[in-house]
Structure 1
Amino acid sequence: MQHNVLENKATRLFIMLGGFFVANAILAELIGVKIFSLERSVDIAPLNFSLFGISELSFNLTTGVLLWPFVFVLTDLINEYYGKRGVRLLSYLTAGLIVYAFAMVFVGIHLAPADFWPQSHISPDLTPNEQALLRSQVGDYDAAFRLVFGQGLWIILGSLVAFLVGQIIDISVFQRVKKITGEGMIWLRATGSTLVSQFIDSFVVLFIAFYIGADWSLQLVLAIGVVNYIYKFLMAVLMTPLLYAVHFLIESYLGSDTASAMKHKALQN
């Protein structure tokens, strides 16, 4: 008797984890154009410290950092139950979809806007002062769209290369640590692999996007990279309890025998 492939719990779990993995990675790329102040977001003054001769540094971060920690937690979960092949499949698929997303954004940017759209955010029902305020903030909707989504080629290339390199390193470190520690010490292989891969990721994207693409000095690249990594380091540690919680949910969903068999097979493969 033929069974629907979606009746298999392991298949359904892979689709769910993979869906969140792809969605988080693409969203991180799209919203990453915004730079936010971490200190001001939590209502404290910027730290203003110095590194490598670069002064007045603070935690001004790309909004994408909100989602990348979840991507690497998902990487470790998929690695745990589906092995290197599962993570590589999703990583290459995600990279291709990121390219596709930016290609569609590029097409969208170059489409001619409808006559009414560039000013459609300024409602005639508003007062003259409110209309003037909107025009001073966003005078042309189409120009704002181009500015927000029209990321430079070097930034896109740097981010994509950093993602793939980070994933490959994360996969390898995770599997090496697991072969040493076995089923125990989930925090060590998950957090450890994330910390190593994120260290490389933090500098690869800046080196390609800004050292090569924007003529930043090496000192500035190193300083900004360290600031980014400090944040990613703290987030990786803070998300360790979440990793254990999701592990518990997955084990409950699959059942201990199925989960154990999947983890054994993932390590062997």
Structure 2
Amino acid sequence: MSQNNLIEFLTSNQEILWLGSTIFFLFSTILLYRLFSHTGLQAAVVFSILLANLLGPRLITIFNIEISLGLLFYASIFFATDVLSENFGKKAATDAVKLGFIVSLIMIIIMWLSLLFDPSDSSQTAEYSLMIHDAFEIIIDLTPRFIIGSLLAYYVSQRYDVWIFHKIKKKTGGDHLWLRNNFSTLSSQFIDSSIYTVVVWWSIVDIRTAIQIGLAEYLLKAVIALIDTGFVYWARSSHTKKNNSIPLT
């Protein structure tokens, strides 16, 4: 299959493109982990939230559901923190959550400051500079409601995710990784979607539409959570072979 044929196939099969992108992103996180251990997972959290913020304004339709493209990368953060929790402990996962929050805050401030610079008025580049400036304004979309909703949903849901993961791990004596991975992620994703829906969409759209948006996004987050279960086992298996200390269950 030629490159053009592949591109045509993917653009005409958005669900396959979405699924392939999800798997590729999970593989990328595993690669960072294999190469750089817990530092690689922390890096995955940071670049996932950066991509989620930058690509958030792009709306796509998957399975007849309209969602933000940033959702693909944002949902993967829970995978990285679960692997950190399982292999390196609660503190490592909590530090990654805090790091992602601080980096997001810094990025938002820097991008807001960048909009205060006037575009070039040079006769050769004025039109191009204004076009890029206007495009950045659309992409950044720094309304207080979206900023507060995004940061609040991220921080609360991620802290809960780490807490409940270790709570279940302690209750089960370290057994049933699939249970703590899926329950912690699915429940924290629900919290994340609920907070974001209430803060961002409340009063902008009617309550029925707000609930539909929240449920649609949660549904696809849940699909990603179920897909990443095998990758979490793979990450722990790799850690076990390297350290010969964590029995698989």
Structure-1-length-normalised TM-score: 0.73
Report the alpha carbon displacement of residue 26 of structure 1 after superposing the two structures with TM: 1.9
1:246 aligns with 2:235: yes
In 2, the alpha carbon distance for the partners of 1:91 and 1:117 equals: 41
Report the alpha carbon displacement of residue 118 of structure 1 after superposing the two structures with TM: 4.8
In 2, the alpha carbon distance for the partners of 1:119 and 1:148 equals: 19
Output one character per residue of 1:72-127: Cα deviation in whole Å (capped at 9) or x when no partner: 01111111123222222221221111010011111111211122445339xxxxxx
In 2, the alpha carbon distance for the partners of 1:154 and 1:117 equals: 34
Number of the residue aligned with 1:53? none
Q: Is the radius of gyration larger for structure 1 or structure 2?
A: 1
Residue 120 of structure 1 aligns to a residue whose secondary structure is: helix
Number of the residue aligned with 2:80? 74
Number of the residue aligned with 1:256? 244
Alignment map for 1:56-75 (pairs within 5 Å): 59-75=65-81
Number of the residue aligned with 1:129? none
Ranges in structure 1 where 5+ consecutive residues have no aligned partner:
1-8, 40-45, 47-58, 122-138, 261-269
Question: Quick one: structure 1 residues 180 and 24, their matched pair in 2 at CA, closer, same or farther if it must change by over 3 Å?
Answer: same
CA contact (8 A) 1:203 1:221 kept: no
Matched letter for residue 119 of structure 1: E
1:96 aligns with 2:96: no
Output one character per residue of 1:27-62: Cα deviation in whole Å (capped at 9) or x when no partner: 2122111111113xxxxxx3xxxxxxxxxxxx1111
Alignment map for 1:53-202 (pairs within 5 Å): 59-115=65-121, 116-120=124-128, 140-202=131-193
Report the alpha carbon displacement of residue 150 of structure 1 after superposing the two structures with TM: 2.8
Number of the residue aligned with 2:20? none
1:26 aligns with 2:50: yes
Question: Quick one: structure 1 residues 82 and 32, their matched pair in 2 at CA, closer, same or farther if it must change by over 3 Å?
Answer: same
Residue 61 of structure 1 aligns to a residue whose secondary structure is: strand
More helix by share: 2
CA contact (8 A) 2:57 2:68 kept: yes
In 2, the alpha carbon distance for the partners of 1:70 and 1:150 equals: 23
Of residues 215, 224, 232, the one that matches 1:235 is: 224
- Runs of 4 or more above 6 Å deviation: none
CA contact (8 A) 1:117 1:141 kept: no
Structure-2-length-normalised TM-score: 0.78
In 1, the alpha carbon distance for the partners of 2:243 and 2:51 equals: 32
Matched letter for residue 112 of structure 1: D
Report the alpha carbon displacement of residue 218 of structure 1 after superposing the two structures with TM: 2.4
Report the alpha carbon displacement of residue 205 of structure 1 after superposing the two structures with TM: 0.7
Output one character per residue of 1:187-238: Cα deviation in whole Å (capped at 9) or x when no partner: 1101110000001101101111121xx5332222222111111111122112
Number of the residue aligned with 1:49? none
Question: Quick one: structure 1 residues 140 and 22, their matched pair in 2 at CA, closer, same or farther if it must change by over 3 Å?
Answer: closer
Residue 118 of structure 2 aligns to a residue whose secondary structure is: coil
Matched letter for residue 68 of structure 1: Y
1:206 aligns with 2:197: yes
In 2, the alpha carbon distance for the partners of 1:142 and 1:69 equals: 29
In 2, the alpha carbon distance for the partners of 1:157 and 1:243 equals: 30
Query: Greater RCO between the two (CA within 8 Å, min separation 6)?
Result: 1
In 1, the alpha carbon distance for the partners of 2:107 and 2:161 equals: 24
Number of the residue aligned with 2:19? none
Q: Decide which moves more: 189-198 or 20-29.
A: 20-29
